[in-house]
Amino acid sequence: MRVWLYARLSNDDDREMNSLLNQQEICQAFAEQHGYIIVGQSFDDNISGMSFDRRGLDELTAAVDADKIDAVIVKDLSRLGRHRTQTALFIDYLREHQVRVISATEGVDTFRDEDDLIIGVRGLMNDYYAKDIGKKIRAGYWQKQKDGIVIIPSFGYWKDKNTGEIKVVEEAAETVRMIYSLYLGGVRLKEIARRLNEHGRKTPAQLQYERYGKRRQDIHKTKDGSYVWTYTSIKNILTDECYAGVLTNHRKQMREGKTYAVTEAEQFRHEGVYPIIVQREDWRRVQELLSQNARNHLVHGNKTKHRYAGLLACAECGNPFVPMIRYWNGNRRVEYVCRGYHRNGKTYCASHRIHEEVLDAAVQEYTETVREQCAVELKKLAQLQKMWALRKPILDAHILSLQEKVQELEQEIDEIVMEKIIKSENTIKAPLAR
């Protein structure tokens, strides 16, 4: 049997017992003991079992899709995942491809029906453990934020795990300085993104993936998978005070599964945590310019509510379509354009657009079609009502007849039961009489 070895290590694991090396040795020994052929292996380091966005799992999935393996061997089922539903779905995906999961230390095989109960119980235990650990981690996370400890460094920095010192990534810092310089020079956000893409400057998502192997949201990537600078990523850097040396924590919090913004008074602000990349005065000037441009947009921008705003999305990049007012030969017209293209240019998406008149015509046509369909259905409903009105007296009479028959049958059953009881009593009394 062709097998794939998979291992995972997260921050909350026992580093000695569940080390990647220990897991690999256990899985390898198990495979060799049973005479399995090891065709590949993958692992994920410092990745939570609640997330299934993992490079090691992607490699495993690629092997499954290519029909290269018959089984996956893990030290225990929690290595595969701790999220009960996600883990179950992944196991079902493997089963659909005729691939089993074998737990080396638990003796569990997902192809054995008798192990389904054990798998379910293990899933519940792993899910509970992950949630309990999650609460403790959140509490520790909050305390670190309060103490001014950098948990995830911003773009342009990296954290020495041994000393906890925050250091500058010069390649990224150069990009940050370029962004601030261009904006202070009057270059707009969209144009800054275009120039960075043109010069091949690495994005925050790209550098993070190269350094840590962690993917970020696909919003920073084109459809073909290329990393690109966007309007949003430029603005995020321009508003981040860390480049002036300030760490601001606890800006958002989770309540009842939803994320809420935290007021400035409740945030934790720590001076001098980050090495300075941008001078304080330059950072303040940028904030003033951003605020001024935002006010200008409100004053001069289009305040008209458009009927299709928020209803259209680009099929290529997923961004919403935004309304734009155009003037052609003195005539005012409204068209909806892809926000991804409008903000980030052709490197991000194509120039998809549609005129409001075209949408109106399409909606009108659809409305007429629906109206015609409704008229047909109403006609059918009226005919059914008429037929029911004609048949109702007959059906009512039939129902009454059946009810009477049921009563007669129930009476007959009662009589038969009583007859049986009397016979049984007589049978018992007869021997006693002798």
**CA 395 – CA 379 distance, rounded (Å):** 23
- Give pLDDT, residue 217: 47
Q: Which of 64-78, 115-129, 377-391 has the lowest mean pLDDT?
A: 115-129
Q: Which of 33-42, 246-255, 333-342, 385-394 has the lowest mean pLDDT?
A: 246-255
Q: What number is the average pLDDT over the span 17-22? A: 79
Name the more confident of 324 and 280.
280
CA angle 256, 258, 262 (to 5 degrees): 105
Distances (CA, A) of 65 to 98, 163, 329, 353: 11, 43, 56, 37
- Give pLDDT, residue 174: 94
Name the more confident of 293 and 90.
90
* Residue 142 burial (10 A CB sphere; 0-12, 13-18, 19+): middle
Q: What number is the average pLDDT over the span 334-341? A: 85
Contact in structure between 125 and 76 (CB atoms under 8 Å): no
**CA 95 – CA 229 distance, rounded (Å):** 40
Q: What number is the average pLDDT over the span 244-249? A: 87
- Predicted confidence (pLDDT) per residue in 85-144, tens digit: 788 888 889 989 999 999 988 888 888 877 676 766 666 676 666 565 556 556 666 677
Q: Residue 167 — pLDDT band, cuts 50, 70, 90? A: very high
- Give pLDDT, residue 243: 93
How many of the other CB atoms lie within 10 Å of CB of 164?
A: 9
- Give pLDDT, residue 13: 58
Radius of gyration of the chain (CA): 34
**CA 223 – CA 428 distance, rounded (Å):** 88
- Predicted confidence (pLDDT) per residue in 173-230, tens digit: 999 999 999 999 999 998 998 899 888 898 888 887 777 665 554 455 665 667 888 8
CA 111 to chain centre: 29
In the chain, the domains with their CATH numbers are 2-147 (3.40.50.1390), 157-297 (3.90.1750.20)
- Predicted confidence (pLDDT) per residue in 308-335, tens digit: 887 888 888 778 888 888 777 777 888 8
- Give pLDDT, residue 218: 43
- Give pLDDT, residue 130: 55
- Give pLDDT, residue 99: 93
pTM greater than the 0.85 cutoff: no
- Give pLDDT, residue 237: 93
